Every structure is written in structure tokens, then in C-alpha cells.
Amino acid sequence: MKRFLVGFLALFMAFSLALPYSAQAAQSVEAVEVAVTTELDVSRSVLSLTEIRDVTIEADFGRKVDLENLELQFGGKTLDEWKQWDADSKSYSGNPFILVTKEPYYVDGTTKIAAELEFGLPFGTEDLSPRSIRVIYKELLGDYELALIDGDNEAKAATTVQLNVYDEFLEWDEIKPSIDQIFEEAGSLNERYLHYESPGKSVEGKDMHLVVLAKDEDAVTNYLENTLPAALETPEELLAKLKDGTLGDYQIPIWFNNIHPDEAEGIDFQTGLLKQFALESEVSFTTTDDNGNDTEVVLNVDEVLDHIIFIFNFSHNPDGRVHNTRANVNGFDLNRDNAYQTQIETIQLNQVIAKWTPLAMMEGHGYVKGFLIEPATPPHNPNFEYDLLMEGMIPQAHAMGQAGIGNSELTSYFLASEGYKDGWDDMGPSYTPIFSMLHGTLGHTVEVPTLSQNAYDAMVGAGLGMINYVFENKDDLFTRQLEIFNRGLNGEDNRLVDPLLTNAAGESIGRVRGEHENFFPDYYVIPIDSFNQKNVSEVYNMVDYLIRNGVKVEQTTDVVKIGPTTYPEGTFVVPMKQAKRGLANAMLYAGDDVSDWEAMYDPVVANFPALRGFNIVDVRMKEEDVLEGITAEVTEVAVPTSEVDEGKAMQVLKNVNNDTIKLVNELLKEEKHVGIVQEDKHGFEIGDFVVRTEDIAPLVDKYVFEATALPTYRPVDTKWIVEPKVAGSGSGQLTFSLKELGFTLTDEEQADIVVSDSALPQELTGKTYVGIGNSVLKAVHESGLLEGFEYKTTKGGHEGLVKTMVNTDHPLMAGYRPEELFYTTRGSWITAVPEGAEVLATVKGTDDFFVAGWWPGHEDAKGKILAFTQQMEDTSVILFANDLAFRAHTKHSYRLLANSIFTAAEETTAPEQ
Ligand SMILES: [Zn+2]
């Protein structure tokens, strides 16, 4: 009932807005006093926004009435008041969409009255995917009263009908009850194993829903405890058993996923598949054979379950289904976050994907004309075993497409890899199915062309196609996944990958190995001693990430000398001879320069060491493997307590990591004393923080920081500050990063410091302005604020990791080294600065300055300025051409934000010593 009211109210409001007052008054229904209500029979009670539906209604008032005076109402309004959406006027002011196709008549001389109605398309189209409709259609959903009213006799025949997107569409809060109902029905029908778990909660605290369907519990236990561990540790043994037919019964998981909930079918097709495979004994569908003829496939579900474990993750993004948005509530597109994993949803979900390591994955998306199915176009990420993946993915994608069109009225599909030349690549690893390929999974994004009943049917069909393909080819497909793991374990850089890795000219370039024989190093060594590591805090985050994603990490149990460097016991080591070495390498290697391509779907650089800002060494052993036998596996990260010498009153915190910034912000918030070192002296550096020992001692377990006692006989020039008044404007992602660092944000008028990646603030007087990226450069240039300032942008979105020379003498660059790797997706550099400006960072002037990314025309950025600051009479401006807070991944640049903010914070008096 609640839904009825909500639906009704929403609709009423829409009408109120859409029609001028006089028109509403003229059209509104006269109140009819109803004394008697009888049941109205309807031939169908679910109506659709995406399909025209004919409905026959019947009612019996028990006597003859005047048919001329009967009135039909829907949701309390006459039918002609229900008008189609008019895109031009952005109102429901088009033609009526509920039509009476046969006026009320008596059935065969009885008192029974019948009529025929046509419920048309409220948006004038079967496709709700256009953005202008997609954001509003949900206001029409709900339960409505359909009524036949006899005003003469104060009588009404009525029933409740549902208006839905398509029949299977469920709101987020309907999904769990629907799962429960399937479980309950299955419980009385069969012995199949159904398991529900929540892999975690969304930002707003909603449970994600994950369902496992298997033959029985043993199938799941056997896979997780025997088959998968053996696949990852001793794939050769499994390969041998598969070959000689002695492996016996085994089941492997396939995964269905959604991540963009406003691409509605991507959630609902899973409920559809779950229902069929949990409840039915047979599932049939139509596909087309190689000659283009329709063929019927009948799957015996118990036989399918002898081989396959189904996993349904209804959505990565529950909040997005509620709000009908693509992004999560922090404004992040989660399908760009599977590699970075900065958002709570992707952090939790990827742990579960790694745990299962599915053989195949289908993620439901929309809306691409022509019905697109991956594999993707080049350039391909070199960390895949691409040949082995494609041997399975290409035929599987065709099976999915054929079943998709067989199960719907769509007439064609295409593979991105066959239909496009570029621009739909799998170089960037942040999309769920593509990230899953690093687990050896056959990962497919499926893009239906429309938001409609028909597209829902097609998506279910694609799912059936995948199930059937895996069912028919399980041994072959699993063999290839095992070979992927085996190459990893053997450290094998198989040249069969090379022909598939091409440049823009179509020439095979293979994996870019430089001087090395093997693309993959033997080990990555990640030091944690202060001599070899600049940012220990991010090392712990990285190790946690790798373990969470199924990568094996070890720690040395002894001192070891590798090349010229000695590493103490406890140094982290990622052995690259392991099943998931492709995943590890994709996150840890420098990345590729793919600037020759004309188009790229999205940024491609992952490079955690550079973007998170920690030291890593890729190690290639000569004759002797000096790490052999002196490492032990780490299964959980134990972050050590930070050390504080409590014998002294004051401490200096090194400005080396974001944890330190968070700690400082916590102290400032509590009005504790925080000073900023203003000179390099006694081993302390400009930009370090002076704090009281008693204030930080309780926080040693909460933050990773490096503190040195400050003896009173060694005074350093310190500026004491209060909590800065900061405003963030522009992207939600910038705001997220500022909050992540612990800054409390205020509005622009109140702020002393305004940080923006989009525009100039209204008022600059008395403020410090920190501007980031090409939109800001443009706004500043057009404003004429800085005379002599010039810049160049090749294109917003052009991406690069560039060697950068840092002006370490400047306090704004405190805590950075003379040469750093900085990241940009802004395609911009600064060509001239105003008189008196101070340059903060410059792209290195050597030919090798460009490390990785997709930035056509980047050559012209060589040696150019990336950042500068200009002090004016009453305003301070700091401009960065590069990104400081891109998708919360560029954590190494965060302290540039913090330095700018703290430098501009209001000064206060020194504490009593
Ligand atoms: Zn999508």
C-alpha cells in the first residue's frame, strides 16, 4: 500500500508541474461518492513502460447500468489525463497513452460489463535508455487503482494494477525478498544448494546481495578447498588428470554481475536466471547455429549443476539502484574503481571475486547500439595471458550473442573486438570483467542496446548462452585457466601472447620487455626500512590490497643483499612465480605508453608504486636466487605501532605520508598544538609538523607516522596554526580526497583556502586558491587574473605518468624529492608564468620523461612547467596542470593539497613549553 501512495503522489506531482493550473482544473475528476465497490477483473495486472499492453476488463454491478455514464479511471484520474512525456516541453503534455479500444459493453445479455484498453508507452518509446528519460521514468512506477465507476449509482469496480519498467524489474528493497522467496520455493522442490551472503555494505549501509547456487554443499566445499587451491598451487597435476580423465567430478564457478544499476537489466537478468536454475528441472532457450538457423537448446538443470556453480552478485552498487544512478554516492563510477579500489564497495567485492576466481563472468550493462559483447579492442593489457583467454572468450561471446538474439527480438549482436578498431580497449584494468581476466576469468561486459523488456530478454539470453557454453566446454575452458596459472607459477613469458598485442598501426609489438628476456620480474621487493622506503604507510596498504586480491605476498626472514642493496629482515617480497602474477604485475609495473592510439576508453595507468608513492624494486635473479628459502608467506597485514619517545615533550612528524596529514588534522580539530617547521635544521625539514608528545601518544595504533623527539635545546623556526578553513569545489572525487585526508570542509565564503578542479571562486580577496587541471587553467586564463600566464592543453582526458623535477626549496613542495613521478589526466602544461611567480614543478627535460599512459602529443610537454604559485596583494594562487586527486588513486599527490592548505592556515601563538 505504501507503494501505491508513493506512486500516486509522484505522479500527481508530475502532473501538477506539467500542466498549467487552469488545464488541471478543467481535467480533474469530479469527486464521486462511492457507496459500493466490487472487484474489477483484468486480463493482466502488470503493465509496462516499455511494451504496449492490451487489457480486457470485466465488472459486474449486479444490474444494468447506463453504459454511457460509466467512467474509467487509472490512479484516480480519467484515462485521457494520462499523457505521454513531451521531450521538448519536458512535461507530460503529449497524447494520452491509455486508450479505450473497445467501449464498455454487456457480455451476452448478462449484467457483466467488459471493455478493452490499450496501455501505451508513456515515453513514446520502448527504450527508456536516453539519459533524459532514464533519470525520470521511475516516478511512474508503482501500484495504481484501475476503476470502472458508475456515478449514477455511486458504485465502483476496481482492482490494483502494477506499472513497471518491464515485468521483471525490481527495486533494490524488493530484491532480497525475491531471493528469499526463491530459496523458500526451491526448498520444497529440490535438494539444490542455495546460499545467501552479503559481501559487504554500500556507502549508505545497504547490504550487497550475493547468492551461490550449486548442486550441493559438497560441490562448493570441494571447489573452494580442493579444486581451486590445487589450480593455484599445482595446476600441472590437475592438467594431467584432466588429460587422462582421472580428475573425476568437479564443479567450477561462473559469476553474474552488475555494477551500473541505472543500466537496469543488469540486475534483473540475474533474478531471472536464478529463478530458473533454482526452481526448474529444465531450462530451454533458442539460439542460432553457425548457419544462422534457430535451434532450441534444452538444459537439464541437474546436469548443469553437476558441472557449474552459479554466483550472482546482484549489484556492486546498491545505493545506485535506489537513487537510479551509475555512480556510488561518493560520485565514483565503480566500474573505474575495481583496480584502484578506493571505494568501500569495490574493496569488499573484489575480495570475494578473488576468493572464488570464477571461470567466467558476465556483467550486464547498457546501452550500446548493436548489442555489444566483449572481448575488447586493442590495446590489450600485456599482463593477460591473452591467447589463452581469447581461445575461450571469443567463441563464448558468440554463444552469448546468438542466445541473446534467440531469446529476444534483437536481430544482431557484435563483439567489440570485431566491430571496433579501437576505443573499447582492455588496457585499463578497472572494469570488473577486465579486472577478472587477471584472475584467469573469461570476463565479458555485455551492453544491451535499449532499456526495455526486449533488452532484458536479450540479457537473459546472453546469460543462458554463457551457461551453455561453459557446460559444453568446461574441461577445455578450465584447462586454459589452469594453463594461465601454470605460466604464472613457472614464471613463463609465453611468446604466443605477442602476436595479439599490437600497436595502432596494427603491427604486433608483443609485451614491451626492454632489455629483458622476460616481461615479468622474478620478484618485487617492497622495502619497509626507512633507508629504502619513503612511505611505509602505503606499503602496508599495498600489501593488504595484494592479499585481498589473491596475490601471494611474503616477508624476508633474514637480512638479504640484492645487488648493491641490503634489506633487513621483514622486507616484503612479491614472488612473481605465482598463479596470479598477472594481477600483481598489472598493479605494480610501470605501465605502457599507448599514445599512438587514436582513442582510449578510459585511463590505463594503474602503477600503484608511483601513484600511491612508495618504493619498489623489480628484481631479476642471476644464477643464484638469493631470496630462495628466506621468505615466509604473509596472510594478514600487521601494521606496527608508530613509535614515540615519551620522555620528551615535543615531537617532529615527518611530512612523508597521508596518515601523518590525517593525524595532524585530528589534532587541529581537537584544538591541539600543531606547528609547521619553517627551516631545514637539525635534520628536520620545512613542512614537517611539530606536535606535543602527549597528544600523539594515544594515536600510535591509529596512524602510521614517523616521529622524532624535539629537544628543547634544539629550537627550530615553527609556525603554529589553527584548523584551516577549507572549501572544495568541483568534482565529488576531489571533495572525497579532501575529506579522506581529514579536512573539514566549509563553504567558499567562510573559507580561507578554496581548492577546485573546475572553476574560480566568486571572491578571491583574502583567500588562497588552489586550482587543479585544465578546466581551472582555462578559467584562470580567461579571467585575466594572472597577467603573463599561458598554458596549453592537447585534450582533457589525455593521461600520463611523467617524470617531474620538483622545486624542493619551496615550502609547498615539502616532503617531496627532487625527482618524482606525477600523474595527469588533463593533457595540459604551463607555457608561461606571471612575473614574480615561483615555479613548483616542471616536466623533466629528457626524452624519457613520459613513463606510461595515453597522451597523443605529450612530446611538447617535455621540460614544461606543471605547477607554480603567485603571491598577489591580497590573494595567493597555486595552480597545478596535473591531477592531485584523481579518483582517489593519486594518493602520492595528496600532500601537495595538504601543504597548500596548511601553508595558508591562520597562525596562532606557540604553546607554552
Ligand atoms: Zn555500464
What tens digit of pLDDT does each residue of 704-739 get? 999 999 988 888 999 999 999 999 999 999 999 999
Beta strands (DSSP E) in 582-713 are 617-619, 631-634, 650-653, 674-677, 689-692, 707-709
> Measured in angstroms, how far is the CA atom of residue 447 from the centroid of ligand 1?
7
**Class of 172-495 in CATH:** alpha beta
From the candidate CATH numbers 3.40.50.10860, 1.20.1730.10, 3.40.50.620, 3.40.50.880, the one assigned to the domain spanning 726-906: 3.40.50.880
Closest CA to 260 of 338, 335, 369: 335
> Measured in angstroms, how far is the CA atom of residue 831 from the centroid of ligand 1?
38
**CA gap 270, 75 in Å, rounded:** 31
> Measured in angstroms, how far is the CA atom of residue 259 from the centroid of ligand 1?
7
Task: Say whether pLDDT at 9 is over 90.
Answer: no
- Burial (CB < 10 A; 0-12, 13-18, 19+), residue 561, is exposed
pLDDT at 390: 98
> Measured in angstroms, how far is the CA atom of residue 310 from the centroid of ligand 1?
22
pLDDT at 295: 95
pLDDT at 19: 37
3-state secondary structure of 216: coil
- Single-letter code of the amino acid located at 844: K
Up-side HSE of residue 328: CA atoms within 13 Å toward CB?
30
646 C-beta neighbours (distance < 10 Å), count? 13
625 C-beta neighbours (distance < 10 Å), count? 14
> Measured in angstroms, how far is the CA atom of residue 224 from the centroid of ligand 1?
30
> Measured in angstroms, how far is the CA atom of residue 201 from the centroid of ligand 1?
21
Alpha carbon 425 to chain centroid, angstroms: 17
pLDDT at 553: 98
> Measured in angstroms, how far is the CA atom of residue 171 from the centroid of ligand 1?
18
Beta strands (DSSP E) in 510-624 are 523-526, 553-556, 560-562, 565-567, 572-575, 617-619
Task: Say whether pLDDT at 897 is over 80.
Answer: yes
> Measured in angstroms, how far is the CA atom of residue 580 from the centroid of ligand 1?
26
> Measured in angstroms, how far is the CA atom of residue 794 from the centroid of ligand 1?
27
Closest CA to 717 of 620, 623, 652, 633: 652
142 Ramachandran zone, left/alpha/beta (phi>0; psi -120 to 50)? left
> Measured in angstroms, how far is the CA atom of residue 446 from the centroid of ligand 1?
9
> Measured in angstroms, how far is the CA atom of residue 602 from the centroid of ligand 1?
13
- Cis (ω within 30 of 0) for the bond into 379? yes
> Measured in angstroms, how far is the CA atom of residue 431 from the centroid of ligand 1?
10
Up-side HSE of residue 116: CA atoms within 13 Å toward CB?
5
> Measured in angstroms, how far is the CA atom of residue 416 from the centroid of ligand 1?
14
Condensed to tens digits (0 to 9), the pLDDT of residues 827-839 reads 999 999 999 999 9
Condensed to tens digits (0 to 9), the pLDDT of residues 11-32 reads 333 333 333 333 333 344 455 5
Closest CA to 732 of 172, 342, 202, 318: 342
Task: Say whether pLDDT at 63 is over 80.
Answer: yes
- Name the helix (H) or strand (E) containing 365: strand 360-366
- Report residue 1's pLDDT band, with 50, 70 and 90 as the boundaries: very low
Residues paired with 718 in a beta bridge = 677
- Report residue 293's pLDDT band, with 50, 70 and 90 as the boundaries: confident
> Measured in angstroms, how far is the CA atom of residue 267 from the centroid of ligand 1?
11
Mean pLDDT within 158-163: 97
Q: How do strand 800-806 and strand 850-852 relate by DSSP bridges?
A: antiparallel
Condensed to tens digits (0 to 9), the pLDDT of residues 840-850 reads 999 999 999 99
Condensed to tens digits (0 to 9), the pLDDT of residues 794-818 reads 999 999 999 999 999 999 999 999 9
> Measured in angstroms, how far is the CA atom of residue 684 from the centroid of ligand 1?
50
> Measured in angstroms, how far is the CA atom of residue 375 from the centroid of ligand 1?
15
**CA gap 664, 673 in Å, rounded:** 9
Task: Say whether pLDDT at 631 is over 50.
Answer: yes
**CA gap 369, 67 in Å, rounded:** 48
**CA gap 340, 543 in Å, rounded:** 14
Using the 8-state DSSP alphabet, how is residue 911 labeled?
Answer: P
> Measured in angstroms, how far is the CA atom of residue 402 from the centroid of ligand 1?
21
- Name the helix (H) or strand (E) containing 779: helix 774-783
> Measured in angstroms, how far is the CA atom of residue 365 from the centroid of ligand 1?
4
> Measured in angstroms, how far is the CA atom of residue 320 from the centroid of ligand 1?
12
- Name the helix (H) or strand (E) containing 11: helix 2-18
- Burial (CB < 10 A; 0-12, 13-18, 19+), residue 400, is buried
Contacts (Cβ under 8 Å, ≥6 apart) of 274: 179, 182, 211, 213, 310, 312
The DSSP code sequence of 617-645 is: EEE---SS-TTTTSEEEE-S--PPPPP--
The residue to which cell 594481477 is assigned:
583
> Measured in angstroms, how far is the CA atom of residue 164 from the centroid of ligand 1?
21
HEC readout, 292-360: CCEEEEEEEHHHHHCCEEEEEECCCCHHHHHHCCCCCCCCCCHHHCCCCCCCHHHHHHHHHHHHHCCCE
Task: Say whether pLDDT at 90 is over 60.
Answer: yes
- Single-letter code of the amino acid located at 536: V
Gap between the terminal Cα atoms of the chain: 68
Condensed to tens digits (0 to 9), the pLDDT of residues 634-675 reads 999 999 999 999 999 999 999 999 999 999 999 999 999 999
At the fourth CATH level, the homologous superfamily of domain 2-164 is: Immunoglobulins (2.60.40.10)
> Measured in angstroms, how far is the CA atom of residue 418 from the centroid of ligand 1?
20
Condensed to tens digits (0 to 9), the pLDDT of residues 221-251 reads 999 999 999 999 999 999 999 999 999 999 9
C-alpha cell read off for 417: 573486438
Q: How do strand 70-74 and strand 77-78 relate by DSSP bridges?
A: antiparallel
The residue to which cell 567466467 is assigned:
360
Using the 8-state DSSP alphabet, how is residue 263 labeled?
Answer: S
The residue to which cell 489525463 is assigned:
81
> Measured in angstroms, how far is the CA atom of residue 601 from the centroid of ligand 1?
13
Condensed to tens digits (0 to 9), the pLDDT of residues 342-377 reads 999 999 999 999 999 999 999 999 999 999 999 999
Using the 8-state DSSP alphabet, how is residue 787 labeled?
Answer: T
Q: Are 326 and 231 in contact (CB under 8 A)?
A: no
Closest CA to 883 of 611, 581, 685, 566: 611
Q: Would the CA dihedral through 82, 85, 91, 94 be positive or negative?
A: negative
> Measured in angstroms, how far is the CA atom of residue 138 from the centroid of ligand 1?
18
Closest CA to 447 of 285, 263, 256: 263
889 Ramachandran zone, left/alpha/beta (phi>0; psi -120 to 50)? alpha
pLDDT at 18: 38
688 C-beta neighbours (distance < 10 Å), count? 27
Task: Say whether pLDDT at 2 is over 80.
Answer: no
**CA gap 551, 438 in Å, rounded:** 11
> Measured in angstroms, how far is the CA atom of residue 477 from the centroid of ligand 1?
26
Which residues are near ligand 1, the ion (C-beta closer than 5 Å)? Answer: 260, 263, 365
> Measured in angstroms, how far is the CA atom of residue 334 from the centroid of ligand 1?
10
> Measured in angstroms, how far is the CA atom of residue 448 from the centroid of ligand 1?
10
3-state secondary structure of 140: helix
- Burial (CB < 10 A; 0-12, 13-18, 19+), residue 136, is middle
Contacts (Cβ under 8 Å, ≥6 apart) of 289: 295, 402
> Measured in angstroms, how far is the CA atom of residue 131 from the centroid of ligand 1?
13
**CA gap 518, 277 in Å, rounded:** 45
> Measured in angstroms, how far is the CA atom of residue 366 from the centroid of ligand 1?
5
Mean pLDDT within 573-596: 98
**CA gap 726, 739 in Å, rounded:** 10
> Measured in angstroms, how far is the CA atom of residue 261 from the centroid of ligand 1?
8
> Measured in angstroms, how far is the CA atom of residue 767 from the centroid of ligand 1?
41
**Chain mean pLDDT for the chain:** 94
3-state secondary structure of 517: coil
Greater pLDDT, 755 or 152? 755
> Measured in angstroms, how far is the CA atom of residue 317 from the centroid of ligand 1?
12
**CA gap 313, 433 in Å, rounded:** 13
> Measured in angstroms, how far is the CA atom of residue 326 from the centroid of ligand 1?
7
**CA gap 668, 908 in Å, rounded:** 12
Alpha carbon 306 to chain centroid, angstroms: 33
> Measured in angstroms, how far is the CA atom of residue 858 from the centroid of ligand 1?
30
> Measured in angstroms, how far is the CA atom of residue 434 from the centroid of ligand 1?
13
> Measured in angstroms, how far is the CA atom of residue 793 from the centroid of ligand 1?
29
- pLDDT-above-70 percentage for the chain: 96
The DSSP code sequence of 801-837 is: EEEEEE-TTSGGGTT--SEEEEEESS-EEEEE--TT-
> Measured in angstroms, how far is the CA atom of residue 296 from the centroid of ligand 1?
30
> Measured in angstroms, how far is the CA atom of residue 250 from the centroid of ligand 1?
33
> Measured in angstroms, how far is the CA atom of residue 258 from the centroid of ligand 1?
8
> Measured in angstroms, how far is the CA atom of residue 429 from the centroid of ligand 1?
15
| φ/ψ (deg, to 5) at 754 | -115, 125
C-alpha cell read off for 22: 487552469
Domain boundaries defined on the chain: 2-164, 172-495, 523-634, 650-721, 726-906
Task: Say whether pLDDT at 290 is over 80.
Answer: no
The residue to which cell 572549501 is assigned:
727
Q: Decide whether 2-164 matches 172-495 in CATH topology.
A: no
> Measured in angstroms, how far is the CA atom of residue 581 from the centroid of ligand 1?
28
> Measured in angstroms, how far is the CA atom of residue 203 from the centroid of ligand 1?
20
| φ/ψ (deg, to 5) at 53 | -130, 130
Q: Are 551 and 520 in contact (CB under 8 A)?
A: no
pLDDT at 32: 56
Condensed to tens digits (0 to 9), the pLDDT of residues 683-697 reads 999 999 999 999 999
pLDDT at 179: 98
> Measured in angstroms, how far is the CA atom of residue 708 from the centroid of ligand 1?
49
Task: Say whether pLDDT at 513 is over 50.
Answer: yes
> Measured in angstroms, how far is the CA atom of residue 432 from the centroid of ligand 1?
10
